[in-house]
Amino acid sequence: MEKVEIRLVKKDEYHDIENVVRESFWGVYRPNCVEHYIVHQAHENNQMVGALDYCMTLDDKPIGYIMYSHASIRTNAGLDQDVLVLGPVCVLPAYQRKGYGSQLIEHTLSLATQYGYGAIVVVGNPKFFEKFGFVPAQQKDIHYSTLGKDKPAPFFLLKELQHGYIAKTTGLFVPTQVFAVTMDEVAQFDKNFAPKTQNSHNNKITIKI
């Protein structure tokens, strides 16, 4: 019988995790992907939240992954409130639509609550993330700083883990540098993996935190 497990990522399997991320995101938002390099950089520079660095394994082989990193919301009172950023989260294509991604999210959200984190933000599909209690951040008067307050951003979502953590004043989400990578860096890093053909279709690229 196949054994499915959710557990912390081991340092000696970072490359395997990066490959899972690469296979999962290849061609989804662009002809190739950048998410595997983001994960690599986060691991190399200790930018992820280690206590929430989880993978899903099948017979101890990684098939899914979820990452959290730190960021902040700056209120109009001049205070910076710490929040977590969820993502990337992924499951290998062969194992998608089986609920594995939801299990990863639910497991780590529970842990983040237990550990005392106040709130989490994510850029993603509202229809998917609303089932985990996420709402458009604009409903909480929280706005993505590079978009301003007037432009709709239904894909920028927030979930309070501790009631009342988000102040009832306008706040701006300050993007984290964890996701700041260049395509030249990605192209160089991609040489560490088996060659893949870039997809030629023009998928819409959504904002990445």
Instruction: Give the separation between CA 125 and CA 32, rounded to whole angstroms.
Output: 20
Q: Does domain 4-190 have CATH number 3.40.630.30?
A: yes
- Domain ranges, ordered by start, for the chain: 4-190
What per-residue confidence (pLDDT) applies to 204? 44
What per-residue confidence (pLDDT) applies to 78? 83
Cβ–Cβ < 8 Å for 90, 24 = yes
What per-residue confidence (pLDDT) applies to 207? 39
Residue 29 identity: Y
pTM given for the model: 0.92
Instruction: Give the separation between CA 178 and CA 169, rounded to whole angstroms.
Output: 26
What per-residue confidence (pLDDT) applies to 1? 65
Buried b / exposed e over 112-123, threshold 16 CB at 10 Å, is beeeebbbbbbb
Q: What is the mean pLDDT of each run of 10 residues along the chain (209 residues)?
A: 91 97 95 96 95 96 97 88 96 96 98 97 95 95 86 94 84 89 95 87 42
Tokens of 95: 């194992």
